[in-house]
Structure 1
Amino acid sequence: MGIFKRGGQRPEESGPYWKQRSWQASAGFLALVVVLGVIATVTSGSGSRARAEASVSKGPLSGTVAKKDGRPGGCRTDDSAGDAIPTSVPKDITWHTLDIGRVPVSASAGPTRKQGAVWWCFAHTPMGAVLAATDIPTQMSGTQWRTVTDQQVVAGQERELFVFQRTAVPDTTGSGGAATTSSYAGFQVTSYTAKAAAVVLLIKNEQGYAKTTVYVRWSGGDWKIQPDSSGSLYSQLASEQSAVGYTLWGA
């Protein structure tokens, strides 16, 4: 069970499970995969499962990695902000384009290290938590999603459930999916301690704004995504009236 108490129980949905919005979310359409409108059809059969299993590889955050000061070897970040909730974005933010959208990266707050789809080494600060909550889920549509999951999702029954459901979803990297005009607009840090944080991501699209919450936990010397009891890596997408109260990326 996650360390944060989630919202009330979601209403039960009808119809085939693969068409249910909540199942699709739990199956790996998180963050940009759902929010930015990448369209994928859930398929069954051993082919997609074999591709998912074949994509697992040893990543930089494996247990054998040497650590210094509780952080993975080679990881350095600017943690001078402490527990202060950010009211502006770092001046060194740059935007990197992935197959399904653009994500923010900070030279000081992270991710400062990259190995394949594993973008890691986030500052042990609220800003580091924001960047982890934004960047890590974005990698879940590609062929290396299992490696990202093993390295950057908190281990436990919730992660196993996510993997079980995500295995049934085809990879969208390089698929030339539908174009989208949605983007990350801003964020709120609604809860923060040195061990865990809750980050609300603000999304802008043609209809206006939407929001979703991602929970992260400090584990193994870096921020990792904390799934909920259903295996979902983020809360159900909800509409938002305006950007008031959010820290905006300004991109």
Structure 2
Amino acid sequence: MSQSTESTTETNPFTKPGFIIAAALVIALIAATAVIFLLPKGDSNAQPAPAAAGSSSAPAASPGTSATTASNKSVCGLASSSEKTLGTAPKSKWELVGKIATPTDPKTFGPRRTDENGFRSCFAQSPTGALYAAMNVAALGSSGSSVLERQLAEKLLVPGAGRDAAMKQAAADSGSSGSSTPIQVRGFLIKSYTPEEANIDLAFQTEKGAYARLTLSMRWMGGDWKVKPADDGTTFTGTTQISDLSGFILWSGV
């Protein structure tokens, strides 16, 4: 997939019907500097950063208790939390998934499970768990592994038309669709959170310095966080170019 830097009037690929991302295609396009400048410009009325915005060295949210019913507790036994938001960045350990640094805390926030293919799942029912789960989706999708992309579509998307579309696309893809241009997460914003639903903004930066933001809508289902895709299979929404990280809590593993 290629795009000319002169084709600034070309249709935004993120809005094309049937533009499916088992997460990988969006990551690949964000990573292409020529493409990122074709994205819609960010909203000038971006939400302000929380007053206590911190860095990756800030304390993590402490796990607590919640009113989670026994039938919907974590499928792998991770503790839930009564926290409703994150005012600072969690103190995270990072590991590479594909080319993206991804947070990991298997005993507290997840992923609790990693299979022989490197597929990661099971995150805590907490704001930090939802954030880790969202970042996990982005990283798995950018891995370039068709096996991981199929697992992602099958296991980490909310069932429905969108999941069916993503699974169909993942089955049709062959070869690596991962990003050849390194990108890394630089910040996040939890737009809303309840123990059942979360909307999370992630900010990414390409190796050439361009920024983009995107939103993942998460749902707690079957004891883990899953992504709610659009009917065409698109898992990320609101993808826009941004000029800087204003409004985001800084958070990065690289």
Same fold (TM over 0.5): yes
1:193 maps to 2:197? no
**TM superposition score normalised by structure 2:** 0.68
d(CA) in 2 for partners of 1:120 and 1:167? Answer: 20
Question: Would the aligned equivalents of 2:84 and 2:194 in 1 still touch at CA under 8 Å?
Answer: no
Distance 1:21 1:202 in 2: 16
Q: CA RMSD in A?
A: 2.8
TM-score by length of 1: 0.69
The AA in structure 1 aligned to 2:101 is R
Q: State the match for 2:145 in structure 1.
A: 142
Determine the structure 1 residue equivalent to 2:52.
Answer: none
In the alignment, is residue 166 of structure 1 matched against residue 170 of structure 2? yes
1:102 counterpart residue number: 101
Aligned-residue offset at 1:250: 4.2
CA shift, 1:143, in A, is: 2.5
How far 1:227 sits from its partner (Å)?
Answer: 0.2
Q: Does 1:35 align with 2:2?
A: no
The verdict on how the C-alpha distance between 1:250 and 1:143 changes in structure 2, with shifts beyond 3 A counting, is closer
What residue is the counterpart of 1:112 in the other structure? 112
Deviations 1:83-108 (A, max 9, x none): 321122333x1111122322112242
Q: C-alpha distance in 1, partners of 2:74/2:124?
A: 12
Paired residues of 1:214 and 1:233 also in contact (CA < 8 A):
yes
- 1:79 and 1:31 mapped to 2: Cα distance? 31
Distance in 2 (CA, whole Å) between partners of 1:117 and 1:35 is 23
Which whole-Å deviations, capped at 9, do the CAs of 1:127-157 have from their partners, x for residues lacking one? 1111111102322341222222211111111
Separation of aligned partners in 2, 1:193 and 1:156 = 22
CA distance 1:245–1:20, shift in 2 (3 Å) = closer
- For the 8 Å contact 1:129–1:223, the answer to whether it is kept is yes
d(CA) in 2 for partners of 1:25 and 1:132? Answer: 22
Shift in CA distance, 163/218, structure 1 to aligned 2, threshold 3 Å:
same
Aligned to 2:237: 235
Q: Measure the CA separation in 2 of the matches of 1:236 and 1:172.
A: 25
In the superposition, relative to structure 1, how do residues 87 and 96 fare at CA in structure 2: closer, same or farther (>3 Å)? same
Counting aligned pairs with the same residue, the percent is 23
Q: AA paired with 2:194?
A: T
Unaligned runs of 5+ in 2: 1-9, 34-69
Give the counterpart letter for 2:85 in structure 1. I
Distance 1:89 1:30 in 2: 27
1:154 aligns with 2:151: no
Cα distance between partner residues in 1 of 2:83 and 2:227: 19
| Contact 1:27–1:169 (CA under 8 A) maintained in structure 2 | no
Distance 1:250 1:236, change over 3 A: closer
